[in-house]
Amino acid sequence: MDTKPTDSAFPYSYHPEGDTFAAGMTKREYFALMLMQGFNASNVEFEDIYQKARMAVAEADALIEVLNEVE
């Protein structure tokens, strides 16, 4: 299965006010969010929060790349 960074991690989000469905966050965003959560729970030191965010995004991209290699 091909995993694209722009695929939706949560395909549907319902907004009752407008009675509409919307796309949820992307898989890339979700993976980065989970990595940030792990970094925050660990004792890893970063230069600043931007380095932590860049690392989470890079790790998310690497995960997607490896997932696409496995068939």
pLDDT confidence tier of residue 2, bands split at 50, 70 and 90: confident
The percentage of the chain sitting over the pLDDT mark of 70, rounded to a whole number, equals 85
Which pLDDT score, from 0 to 100, does residue 54 have?
Answer: 96
What pTM does this model have? 0.73
**Distance in angstroms (rounded) separating the CA atoms of residues 46 and 67:** 27
Which among 20-24, 30-34, 66-70 has the top mean pLDDT? 30-34
Which pLDDT score, from 0 to 100, does residue 61 have?
Answer: 95
**Distance in angstroms (rounded) separating the CA atoms of residues 46 and 53:** 10
**Distance in angstroms (rounded) separating the CA atoms of residues 7 and 12:** 12
**Distance in angstroms (rounded) separating the CA atoms of residues 34 and 45:** 17
